[in-house]
């Protein structure tokens, strides 16, 4: 953490210097950012705030700076402000803050090292998941990119090594990250069901890695990425939930095809989770969550894009219809809260280089990916529901 703080401090002192930029050192300074505001209305269930009554609780603002003081050293950092319903009511965070050192740069490839807070290279979208212009739609495919526990896999405080090989047949990119994950209250809600007396903290090093292959010209992009770690619960004295651990893996297989006017993407995720030693009220168990989506985006005009997506996600791949879990809970948990099947239609309009508007409709069967922090009472959940959303985003 101290390392991250030092890098941020270093980056922060650069900002005033841009005004008096004179020497070569500051010539490479770049500032970029974005801001977005969405309005969300759902037929039922809370999604990013009290959405059945129309919610404005989805705001994102990011500002970043980068500097290349020497040709082999890149310093960068981004501050992120987010409001996302009851999951993140008002959060200011350091999204990333890192030093990137190029160790090797050849015609055939490059290799290097990153130190600091590093975004985990998971799937097509995790690294820039909060930058609206890089997302395919207002909301990422929820069946793969769980919003309710986003911070668990978002970034690591640690070290990363990367290597890229370039050839006429395409590029191969390997990245490995090891560090400490960002664990917050949403992890406890999602994995332990409620806010227990005590708190959740990292247990082991968080490891993430990715391997990507692109054809030359990036027509085809194929990748495998994953993460593995565990966290533990530190109970307050007298807590009914004991000091247990939860170990999880998170694997994503990705494929994308890019044509001039359209892009097809598909991803498959698998997340085995194991709960141990939480005491008699929370028996040991092992469950594998699963999800996948197919997505096509077509440019109707150069600045207007229509996207269609279908995705399914399951809390337990061996109990996809949720009836097993529901029966085990004596009917307390409805079966449909263990899966989500989602149709999405989204329209993107790039008004100019800096401004983008989006409109989105989703039809849901099931409530698996909803945050129980936002929907604490199972009895209030509605199985079939709709989402309407609009979003306006700016960038510089």
Partner 1 sequence: MRALALAFVSLSLVWSCELSAQDMIVNDGMNLTSLSRNQARLYFSQKAQLWPDGAPVRVFVLPDEHPLHRSFCKRVLGLFPYQLRRVWDRMVFSGTGQAPTTVTSEKQLIRGVATTPGAIGYAAEGSRHPGIRSLEVD
Q: Between residues 114 and 364, which has the closer beta carbon with respect to partner 1?
A: 114
Q: Which of 91, 303, 323, 329 binds partner 1 (CB under 8 A)?
A: 303
Question: How many angstroms separate the CA atoms of 175 and 109, rounded?
Answer: 13
| 137 phi/psi in degrees, rounded to 5 | -155, 175
Q: Which of 8, 84, 97, 115 binds partner 1 (CB under 8 A)?
A: 97
Q: How far is the CB of 54 from partner 1 (least distance, A)?
A: 29
Per-residue interface string for the shown chain with partner 1, residues 169-188, x marking contact by CB under 8 A = --x-----------------
Question: How many angstroms separate the CA atoms of 225 and 177, rounded?
Answer: 11
Question: How many angstroms separate the CA atoms of 95 and 80, rounded?
Answer: 6
Q: How far is the CB of 77 from partner 1 (least distance, A)?
A: 7
Which of these ranges, 96-104, 145-153, 239-247, 264-272, lies near partner 1 under the rule CB under 8 A? Answer: 96-104
Which of these ranges, 97-105, 183-191, 224-232, 358-366, lies near partner 1 under the rule CB under 8 A? Answer: 97-105
Structure tokens at 71: 């040709």
Query: Is there binding between residue 134 and partner 1 (CB under 8 A)?
Result: yes
Question: How many angstroms separate the CA atoms of 340 and 321, rounded?
Answer: 10
Q: Which of 81, 166, 191, 207 binds partner 1 (CB under 8 A)?
A: 166
Question: How many angstroms separate the CA atoms of 149 and 371, rounded?
Answer: 9
Total residues contacting partner 1 (rule CB under 8 A)? 44
Structure tokens at 129: 């998941």
Q: How far is the CB of 168 from partner 1 (least distance, A)?
A: 5
What is the residue whose two structure tokens read 């968080």? 206
Q: Between residues 157 and 374, which has the closer beta carbon with respect to partner 1?
A: 157
Query: Is there binding between residue 54 and partner 1 (CB under 8 A)?
Result: no
User: Which residues within the stretch 214-273 sit at the binding site for partner 1 (CB under 8 A)?
Assistant: 216-218, 258, 260
Query: Is there binding between residue 102 and partner 1 (CB under 8 A)?
Result: yes
Q: Which of 237, 302, 330, 379 binds partner 1 (CB under 8 A)?
A: 302
- Cβ neighbours of residue 209 closer than 8 Å, sequence gap 6 or more: 121, 174, 175, 176, 177, 225, 226, 227
Q: Which of 168, 301, 318, 379 binds partner 1 (CB under 8 A)?
A: 168
Query: Is there binding between residue 127 and partner 1 (CB under 8 A)?
Result: yes
| 352 phi/psi in degrees, rounded to 5 | -155, -170
Residues in the site for partner 1, rule: CB under 8 A? 28, 30, 32, 34, 62, 64, 66, 68, 71-72, 74, 76-78, 96-98, 100, 102, 105-107, 110, 114, 118-119, 127-128, 131, 133-134, 164, 166-168, 171, 216-218, 258, 260, 302-303, 353
């Amino acid at each position: 953490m101290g390392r991250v703080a030092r890098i941020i401090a270093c980056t922060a002192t650069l900002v005033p210097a841009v005004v008096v930029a004179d020497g070569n050192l500051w010539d490479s300074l770049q500032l970029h950012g974005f801001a977005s505001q969405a309005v969300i209305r759902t037929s039922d269930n809370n999604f990013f705030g009290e959405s059945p009554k129309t919610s404005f609780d989805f705001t994102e603002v990011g500002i970043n700076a980068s500097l290349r003081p020497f040709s082999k050293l890149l310093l960068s950092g981004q501050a992120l402000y987010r409001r996302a319903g009851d999951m993140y009511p008002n959060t200011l965070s350091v999204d990333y803050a890192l030093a990137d050192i190029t160790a090797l740069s050849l015609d055939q490839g490059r290799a290097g090292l990153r130190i600091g807070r590093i975004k985990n290279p998971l799937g097509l979208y995790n690294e820039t998941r909060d930058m609206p212009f890089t997302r395919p739609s207002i909301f990422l495919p929820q069946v793969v990119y769980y919003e309710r526990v986003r911070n668990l896999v978002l970034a690591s405080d640690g070290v990363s090594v990367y290597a890229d090989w370039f050839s006429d047949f395409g590029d191969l990119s390997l990245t490995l990250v090891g560090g400490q994950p960002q664990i917050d209250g949403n992890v406890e809600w999602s994995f332990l069901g409620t806010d227990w007396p005590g708190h959740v903290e990292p247990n082991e090093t968080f490891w993430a890695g990715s391997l990507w292959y692109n054809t030359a010209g990036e027509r085809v992009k194929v990748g495998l990425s994953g993460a593995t770690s565990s966290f533990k619960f530190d109970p307050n004295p007298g807590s009914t939930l004991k000091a247990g651990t939860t170990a999880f893996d998170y694997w994503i297989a990705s494929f994308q095809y890019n044509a001039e006017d359209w892009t097809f993407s598909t991803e498959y995720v698998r997340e085995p989770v194991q709960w141990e030693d939480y005491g008699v009220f929370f028996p040991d168990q092992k469950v594998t969550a699963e999800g996948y989506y197919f997505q096509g985006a077509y440019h109707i005009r150069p600045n207007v894009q229509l996207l269609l997506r279908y995705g399914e996600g399951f809390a337990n791949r061996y109990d996809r219809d949720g009836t097993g879990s529901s029966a085990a809970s004596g009917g307390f948990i409805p079966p449909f809260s263990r899966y989500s099947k989602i149709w999405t239609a989204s329209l993107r309009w790039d008004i100019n280089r800096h401004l983008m508007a989006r409109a989105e409709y989703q039809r849901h069967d099931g409530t698996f990916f909803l945050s129980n922090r936002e929907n604490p009472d199972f009895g209030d959940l509605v199985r079939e529901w709709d989402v309407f959303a609009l979003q306006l985003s700016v960038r510089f």
